[in-house]
Structure 1
Amino acid sequence: MSATVQPLLDGTFPDPVQQQSADYETWLAAVWPAFIAAAATGRTFTCYEVAHANRLPDPPNRKAHWGRLMTLLRDEGYIRTANWACSDRPTTHHSGVRTWKGTAAARREAAT
């Protein structure tokens, strides 16, 4: 059973980026392919860049699950730490964030 998106009071529908998934596993399945694709490019990226470019939904727990996703991708061998950068996320006031780079495993995964 899929959830129905309710219109806002003005009749418009919420931006998918602002939507939040109900459970972690569903959210993880939805966002995983976008991060594998980003890793397969071989370019350096931040978590927010990928989420924003692909209009990904927010996880159930925004404070913990984005970081957990990146840890899972790293532990699975798809990404590695690249460096640090200033965040592009509007609410962070350009604070420092980790940057990531894809591995050969990510390129193989994207090719299959």
Structure 2
Amino acid sequence: MTAIQPALDGTIPTTSSYAEWVDDVRPAFVTAARSGRRFTTYEIAKEHELPEPPNPRADWGNFAQSLVRDGLIEHVDFERSSRPTGERSAVSVWRGTPAARAGRVA
């Protein structure tokens, strides 16, 4: 996976479909899950300069839940968002499952 380059205005472009977006961003989350570290989706997206999904308000949450269903990540906590939205709302903190950390799930 290669990082998506920001547009001239500094924004990260979106991809055309949810399926394409998942293909682009999933490898970064597999790597994070295998590391055993705790993370938020925003931290991984920022760290890897991942593109925004077609529907950011719904797709990030749907994607995280698909990773849970796939046995890749598990919810471990809530923390205040570090995203520069000004809201500082509570967000989920994730960690790779034991199977993901052992490399049995991807």
Specify if TM > 0.5: yes
Match for 2:26 among 23, 26, 32?
A: 32
The yes-or-no answer on 1:95 pairing with 2:99 is no
Question: What is the Cα deviation at residue 47 of structure 1?
Answer: 0.6
Distance 2:44 2:21 in 1: 15
Distance 1:56 1:24 in 2: 13
Partner residue of 2:14?
20
Counterpart mapping for 1:1-112 below 5 A: 13-15=8-10, 18-107=12-101, 108-109=103-104
Unaligned runs of 5+ in 2: none
Count of matched residue pairs: 100
Deviations 1:15-45 (A, max 9, x none): 4x52111111110000000001011111111
Q: TM-score, normalised by structure 2?
A: 0.85
Aligned-residue CA RMSD in angstroms? Answer: 2.0
- The structure carrying a bigger helix percent of its residues is 1
Quick one: structure 1 residues 92 and 75, their matched pair in 2 at CA, closer, same or farther if it must change by over 3 Å?
A: farther
Q: Give structure 1 regions of 4+ aligned residues with deviation exceeding 4 angstroms.
A: none
Amino acid at match of 2:31: A
Larger radius of gyration: 1
Unaligned runs of 5+ in 1: 8-12
